[in-house]
Amino acid sequence: MSANEPSRQRAVHVLVAGRVQGVGYRAWCADRARELGLSGWVRNLRSGEVEAVFSGETGSVDAMLAVALDGPGWARVSEVKVLGEAGIVTNGFDVRPTG
C-alpha cells in the first residue's frame, strides 16, 4: 500500500463459544483489541457465549480473529464464528454489560 492509498477498513460481528465466561475473556479480548489498534466492543451473552465487534484495519481485524481462538489461560474457546460484517466503529474499544 502506498502512502497515498487509504488503509482498508473492516468490521466484523462475532460470537465466541466455549468456556469464555468467568475466565477474564472480555478483559483479555479488550486488551488484545486495543493493542492491535481496533475499535469495537465485547460483552457476555446470557447464552454463555461472548459477542464482539472488531473494527479497524483489515490486517488487524484478521489478527484479532486469530488470537480470539486462544483467549486467556483459563478459557477454552471452541469456536469464533463471524456472523457478518458490521458498521465501522471508530471510538475505541469497550467492555459492555451482559446482553
Residue carrying C-alpha cell 447464552 = 47
91 catalytic residue (yes or no): no
Domain extent listing, the chain:
9-88
The pLDDT score that the predictor gives to residue 41 is 98
44 catalytic residue (yes or no): yes
The pLDDT score that the predictor gives to residue 46 is 97
Question: Taking all residues of the chain, what is their mean pLDDT, rounded to a whole number?
Answer: 93
Catalytic position from the list 4, 8, 32, 44:
44
Whole-model pTM? 0.91
Task: Please identify, in words, the CATH class of the domain defined by 9-88.
Answer: alpha beta
Catalytic position from the list 4, 8, 10, 26:
26
Burial 51-68 (b: 16+ CB within 10 A, else e): bbbbbbbeebbebbeeeb
37-69 tens-digit pLDDT: 999 999 999 999 999 999 999 999 999 999 999
